[in-house]
A = this chain, B = another copy of it.
């Protein structure tokens, strides 16, 4: 007898990340989208009418005619994927958690909140335990779980095996981020054609604090952030999907380049052990080609869930430097949240 799928809802279903949720949840073995919500402007319309679909695959037939609901907990299923702007998320996500929902959020609103787990399943699955500290959990069973910013997540996946094996001591990263990271309409073409924008509001702050929380230690009621020194330079470039990052790292324990490459390629973690549906077989792929990874060619590796690393070489200031590439709206947003929900399901938090 086939198991029944878990009904899920999407908050912010018409945005760029909302669209990715719908695309990635189509034919998902565990979850089924039964409820879509968006701003008041869209509510009441069919999804097909409300959305300006910006993906290459067509809108799934089943979703096309689904009505868009108001963004309120009444009538919503118990599992909610949230793809809201931070300001709106700050108001709405607690309402859904208070109503008993598992809110699996891509927003930055509560990522740094002491009781809210900020999780990448390959990196810090154990931090999920923080949800037991949330007031909503105690009252209604609801809770909020978050994934990091799209620029932090590729970096953190790439760093995880290095941090486990050798210890990160200092970290330097410059990002070249795709326009889809800014949502839709997002970056105006007049701003980015033939250009680089060396600034993304609050991005560097998020990268730095989220990276430390993700690589930190759960210590009783809270996460003790990692203490390495870190700096981020964030830039926007004329790329559609895929954040490329130039990284330098100093390690606590010296290691040679082969050890690092092996650490990247051999890295497996909780999602692979649990065989979570969206988990890539290989979370990190080290590409030995001299001029890779590149967003145009490598962003879809592992269905957009594998992080590519390349160009490992000595660094004149820290120990090593290398390039990281990850898909910002799959591994860095919708796929990240779905993987979190799969982890929650596998660990019994969705029943």
Instruction: Mark A residues whose CB is within 8 Å of B.
Output: 16, 54-56, 170-172, 174, 176, 179-180, 184-199, 208, 229-233, 235, 237-240, 244, 246, 248, 290-297, 300, 310-311, 315-318, 321, 323
Whether A317 pairs with B170 at a CB distance below 8 angstroms is yes
> When chains A and B are docked, how far (Å) is the Cα of A290 from the Cα of B237?
17
In the bound complex, residues from chain B placing their C-beta under 8 Å from that of A239 are 193-196, 238
> When chains A and B are docked, how far (Å) is the Cα of A54 from the Cα of B192?
11
A contact patch SS: mixed
Counting chain B CB atoms within 10 Å of each CB, which of A192, A229, A315, A316 scores highest?
A316
In the bound complex, residues from chain B placing their C-beta under 8 Å from that of A235 are 176, 244, 246
Measured CB to CB, the nearest residue on chain B to A248 is B231
Whether B179 pairs with A189 at a CB distance below 8 angstroms is yes
In the bound complex, residues from chain B placing their C-beta under 8 Å from that of A296 are 56, 193-195, 240
Whether B179 pairs with A185 at a CB distance below 8 angstroms is no
Which of these, B172, B176, B295, contacts A317 with CB under 8 Å? Answer: B172
The complex is assembled from copies of this chain, and their number is 4
Which of these, B189, B208, B244, contacts A191 with CB under 8 Å? Answer: B189
> Smallest Cβ distance from A294 to chain B, in angstroms?
5
In the bound complex, residues from chain B placing their C-beta under 8 Å from that of A56 are 296-297, 300
Whether A54 pairs with B196 at a CB distance below 8 angstroms is no
Q: A187-B188, A189-B187, A315-B231 are in contact. Are A237 and B240 (CB under 8 A)?
A: no
Q: A174-B233, A231-B315, A317-B229 are in contact. Are A240 and B198 (CB under 8 A)?
A: no
Measured CB to CB, the nearest residue on chain B to A297 is B56
Which of these, B189, B237, B238, B321, contacts A233 with CB under 8 Å? Answer: B321
* Top 5 A-B residue pairs of the complex, sorted by shortest distance between their CB atoms: A174-B174, A233-B246, A185-B188, A199-B291, A231-B316
Whether A16 pairs with B231 at a CB distance below 8 angstroms is no
> When chains A and B are docked, how far (Å) is the Cα of A230 from the Cα of B318?
9
Whether B194 pairs with A295 at a CB distance below 8 angstroms is yes
In the bound complex, residues from chain B placing their C-beta under 8 Å from that of A244 are 196, 198, 235
> When chains A and B are docked, how far (Å) is the Cα of A76 from the Cα of B309?
39
> When chains A and B are docked, how far (Å) is the Cα of A172 from the Cα of B239?
24
Which of these, B171, B174, B176, B194, contacts A194 with CB under 8 Å? Answer: B194
Measured CB to CB, the nearest residue on chain B to A323 is B198
- 10 further A-B contacts with Cβ under 8 Å, apart from A187-B190, A196-B237, A231-B248, are A187-B188, A189-B238, A193-B238, A193-B296, A194-B238, A194-B239, A194-B240, A194-B296, A235-B244, A237-B237
In the bound complex, residues from chain B placing their C-beta under 8 Å from that of A237 are 176, 196, 237-238
In the bound complex, residues from chain B placing their C-beta under 8 Å from that of A294 are 195-198
Whether A238 pairs with B240 at a CB distance below 8 angstroms is no
13 contacts between A and B (CB under 8 A): A170-B317, A172-B248, A174-B246, A176-B176, A179-B190, A190-B240, A193-B194, A196-B239, A208-B316, A230-B317, A231-B315, A231-B321, A317-B318
